Amino acid sequence: MNSCIFSLSALSASASLASAAVVNFSTVVGTYDQGGNYTVGQSINGNALDGFGWGVFGDQTNNQTAVYTASAAFNANNLQVAIPQFLGTNHYANDFRVSYTTDASPTLGGSWTELAPTIARAANGLTLGALGSNRFGPSGSSVDGTTNYVLMAQGNFVGVTGMRLELFNSAGNLGASANGNMVVSEFQVTTNAEINLALAAPITASAATWPGNPAVFVNDGRSGTFSHPGQDSQVNFSYTIDLQGVNALTRLELVDRTACCPDRLTNYRVEILDDMMASVWTANLAGTPGEGTDTVVAGDGVGTFAGRYVRLTNNSGAQYNPQIAELRAFGSPIPEPSIPLLLGLGFLGCFRRRR
């Protein structure tokens, strides 16, 4: 598809939408409910961290489906589905697929279009691989028995009324836990500018992190998990997140560890790097004292606030720095450019960087 045409149609679609960036669901129905604290309704209670969710124990050897009905129909040109599975002990899905509908009333037997994501990720050490027919499954092992599946798709999504999550038993069980169970902590759909582009993206650290606090905890979607380097002076220790595409960024959010030592997220440098890993934007920041979230925007630094990689570096050399619970990046993918579109939108500098 011509990327220029794609982008213009997406822009015209976005102009007409009045949808929430975070999609709220009014109801969900599933083909099976474990019961207790593990009903399908627990996957839209707004809490991914309460230890509950949609469990399938008792019928975990058969395919299952859940249909989520949006509180209001929504439009999007970028769409993210995140499926945190934070219960622990490998309670995550072996094989799943996400679809969407524009039916007036979403039902199990309705008309569904399979989501065909361009990016598929799994947090905390797993890799999410394509299984064909828009199905995905994990490989590898989780650092702590949890994960967060993230699918990102671009398109012209208009009048979406519901989402469908299908679970398949191709491995004999729906889930990877010892008894074959799985628990969906939350089913989260986000559109356009409120998509956290960094969620579950590949991340590297420039040197060893503190044992038990791996780099992958920086963008797993849990504010309760964090990472920091060892106790020796760590001048220029850095974390680098690969957004897996070039994005025009609007803001970054750096979240402190809770209940300990927020001073460890001070005196840091944030950089945006292009797809050749050349730095294109830099900010040397003091950070805000005390616990909370530092929001970083283009005006806080120098350069072009667009690129593929986000890097956080220890500027002070203080031990345990930088310590961070979550690094989030918000913005929009930059489609492969064409010259007329770039000139029209004033992105010529971006085009030059991308050759």
Q: Give me the torsion for CA of 28, 34, 35, 41, rounded to 10°.
A: -20
Q: Does 47 bind Ca ion (CB under 5 A)?
A: yes
Enumerate residues 79-118 that contact Ca ion by CB under 5 A.
none
Structure tokens at 240: 């680098």
Around Cβ 323, how many Cβ atoms within 10 Å?
24
CA angle 163, 168, 170 (to 5 degrees): 155
Q: Does 144 bind Ca ion (CB under 5 A)?
A: no
Q: Does 227 bind Ca ion (CB under 5 A)?
A: no
Q: Identify the residue among 33, 256, 271, 274 touching Ca ion (CB under 5 A).
A: 256
For the CB of residue 52, give the shortest distance to Ca ion in the complex, in Å: 6
Q: Does 239 bind Ca ion (CB under 5 A)?
A: no
For the CB of residue 220, give the shortest distance to Ca ion in the complex, in Å: 5
Count of residues that interact with Ca ion, criterion CB under 5 A: 13
Q: Identify the residue among 91, 121, 164, 222 touching Ca ion (CB under 5 A).
A: 222
Enumerate residues 184-213 that contact Ca ion by CB under 5 A.
186
H-type helices in the chain, by residue range?
Answer: 3-15, 339-345, 348-353
Sequence-ordered list of residues with C-beta below 8 angstroms from that of 339, at least 6 positions apart, any chain = 351
272 versus 327: smaller Cβ distance to Ca ion = 327
Q: Identify the residue among 85, 142, 196, 225 touching Ca ion (CB under 5 A).
A: 225
Q: Does 31 bind Ca ion (CB under 5 A)?
A: no
Q: What secondary structure does DSSP assign to 149-207, as a single string? A: EEEEEEEEEEEEEEEEEEE--TTSSSB-STTS--EE---EEEEGGG-BTTTT--EEESS
Q: Identify the residue among 217, 309, 330, 347 touching Ca ion (CB under 5 A).
A: 217
Sequence-ordered list of residues with C-beta below 8 angstroms from that of 305, at least 6 positions apart, any chain = 248, 249, 272, 281, 297, 298
Residue type, 294: D
Q: Does 288 bind Ca ion (CB under 5 A)?
A: yes
Q: Does 262 bind Ca ion (CB under 5 A)?
A: yes
Q: Identify the residue among 2, 3, 37, 45 touching Ca ion (CB under 5 A).
A: 45
Q: Does 307 bind Ca ion (CB under 5 A)?
A: no
Binding positions for Ca ion, rule: CB under 5 A: 42, 45, 47, 186, 217, 220, 222, 225, 256, 262, 288, 325-326
